């Protein structure tokens, strides 16, 4: 098959998905989208309005392809799904979009699932809502002949429970799991206490992705300066906030090297998402340089950090990355995927044209790998 695989696409969850799919003990206080007296929507978490997800975000979050005027109108309305395309929440419409764009498969991640976990402190509550979403996305993808690929939302508050949920989800169709760049238990992702999850992922032969999302204030990288903290800085300084999003993923990713996770789990697969890909060669070079110097005594790796990247890691690129050809040449064509971020409004809607333009600068082997060959192998797509 001539694979064209969107490695990081999104769905917009139904407003009541957690009420419908959560285990009974959690339904009464389940996360949900409610409409306020002013006609705008808000995200409710633990019975309280969310502080880090605003009505403006809910109104505009599915606005890929809208004009600036339309996007402003959507954000002002504060109405979740009102300005979003049906392809974001209807699986039949999504398949039609894939056909129209010549995409064979879409690897699917949530939208509100990137937001609500930052408002939660109870690991059991978080896991219950991850499980509820996972059950729904399994149903969403069930009749797509494998073209819509569910990825399980996981949380690191209880690594044994996370491992059990990954096992359940994979048994029901998920092709991997993902984590946000922070952890509820406060421990670094690569810490040995999290080994039960890495052991399960290795045994199941499925990748675990690190995906950008909203951080809780106590863990956020957006609190170095006044007036630039999330969400107070949105929308006026959203450019700055978006620029820094990759840093959270880079921090989480680096912990797998600091704690020698890849030596303990030599078949573990880690995917880095929604942070661009051009930084990876620099990151590898810096990790190797520090490893070769006196600081090597502080890191228990058996090999150079770059060795593990080339053996066990993948990264998704934006189709408009002008330096991607150089990055692929430096790292190797088998490490890279491409992603649309559909339907999120922080990216343009012409990603297929951008991908085609990007591929003109690449050798044919790299084109086949980037367009879908790498993702097809990684996620074992038929």
Please report how many Cα atoms fall inside a 13 Å half-sphere around the Cα of residue 71, on the Cβ side. Answer: 16
Q: Per-residue pLDDT tens for 254-268?
A: 999 999 999 999 999
How does 187-213 read in b/e, with b if 16+ C-beta sit within 10 Å?
ebbbbeebbbbbebbbebebbbbbbbb
| Mean pLDDT, the chain, integer | 95
Distances (CA, A) of 367 to 328, 360, 364: 10, 8, 5
Confidence class of residue 222 from pLDDT cuts 50, 70 and 90?
A: confident
Q: What is the pLDDT of residue 257?
A: 98
How does 268-292 read in b/e, with b if 16+ C-beta sit within 10 Å?
bbbbbbbbbbbbbbebbeebeeebe
Confidence class of residue 1 from pLDDT cuts 50, 70 and 90?
A: confident
Q: What is the pLDDT of residue 228?
A: 80
Domains detected in the chain: 5-29+86-378 (3.20.20.140)
| Contacts with 125 (C-beta within 8 Å, 6 or more apart), sequence order | 26, 46
Q: Per-residue pLDDT tens for 354-374?
A: 999 999 999 999 999 999 999
Residue found under tokens 């490893």: 291
Distance CA 331, CA 310 (A): 7
| Contacts with 340 (C-beta within 8 Å, 6 or more apart), sequence order | 6, 8, 9, 106, 319, 347, 351, 352
Distance CA 237, CA 178 (A): 28
| CA torsion through residues 365, 366, 368, 373, sign | positive
Q: Per-residue pLDDT tens for 163-182?
A: 999 999 999 999 999 999 99
Q: Which tokens in the block code for residue 349? A: 């809607």
Distance CA 83, CA 66 (A): 9
Average pLDDT over residues 152-161: 97
Residue 372 DSSP label: I
Question: Which is nearest to 12 in space by CA: 324, 314, 345?
Answer: 345
If residue 375 lies in a helix (H) or strand (E), which one and from where to where? helix 374-378
Strand partners, 254: none
Q: Are residues 171 and 231 in contact, defined by beta-carbon separation less than 8 angstroms?
A: no
pTM across the whole model: 0.96
Distance CA 205, CA 359 (A): 29
What angle do the packed helices 159-171 and 123-141 form, to 10 degrees? 10
Q: Which tokens in the block code for residue 96? A: 């039609």
| CA torsion through residues 52, 84, 149, 136, sign | positive
């Amino acid at each position: 098959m001539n694979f064209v695989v969107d490695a990081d696409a999104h769905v917009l969850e139904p407003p009541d998905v957690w009420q419908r799919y959560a285990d009974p003990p959690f339904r009464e206080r389940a996360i949900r989208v409610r409409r306020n007296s002013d006609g705008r929507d808000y995200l409710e978490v633990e019975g309280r309005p969310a502080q880090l997800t605003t009505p403006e975000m809910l109104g505009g979050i599915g606005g890929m392809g809208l004009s600036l005027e339309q996007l402003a109108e959507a954000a002002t309305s504060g109405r979740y799904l009102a300005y979003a395309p049906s392809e974001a929440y209807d699986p039949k419409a999504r398949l039609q979009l894939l056909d129209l764009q010549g995409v064979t498969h879409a690897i699917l991640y949530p939208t509100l699932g990137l937001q609500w976990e930052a408002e939660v402190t109870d690991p059991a509550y978080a896991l219950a809502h991850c499980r509820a979403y996972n059950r729904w996305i399994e149903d969403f993808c069930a009749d797509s002949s494998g073209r819509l690929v569910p990825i399980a939302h996981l949380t690191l508050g209880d690594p044994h429970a996370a491992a059990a949920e990954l096992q359940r989800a994979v048994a029901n169709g998920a092709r991997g799991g993902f984590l946000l760049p922070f952890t509820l238990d406060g421990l670094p992702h690569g810490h040995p206490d999290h080994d039960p999850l890495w052991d399960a992922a290795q045994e199941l032969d499925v990748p675990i992705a690190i995906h950008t999302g909203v951080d809780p204030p106590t863990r956020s990288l957006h609190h170095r300066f006044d007036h630039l903290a999330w969400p107070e800085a949105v929308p006026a300084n959203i450019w700055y906030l978006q620029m820094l999003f990759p840093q959270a993923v880079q921090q989480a990713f680096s912990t797998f090297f600091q704690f020698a996770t890849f030596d303990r789990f030599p078949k573990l697969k880690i995917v880095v998402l929604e942070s661009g890909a051009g930084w990876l060669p620099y990151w590898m070079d810096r990790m190797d340089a520090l490893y070769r110097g006196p600081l090597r005594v502080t890191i228990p790796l058996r090999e150079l950090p770059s060795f593990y990247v080339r053996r066990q890691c993948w990264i998704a690129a934006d189709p408009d990355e002008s330096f991607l050809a150089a990055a692929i040449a430096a790292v190797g064509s088998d490490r890279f995927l491409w992603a649309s971020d559909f339907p999120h409004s922080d990216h343009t809607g012409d990603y297929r044209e951008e991908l085609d333009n990007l591929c003109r600068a690449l050798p044919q082997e790299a084109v086949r790998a980037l367009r879908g060959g790498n993702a097809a192998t990684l996620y074992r797509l038929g």
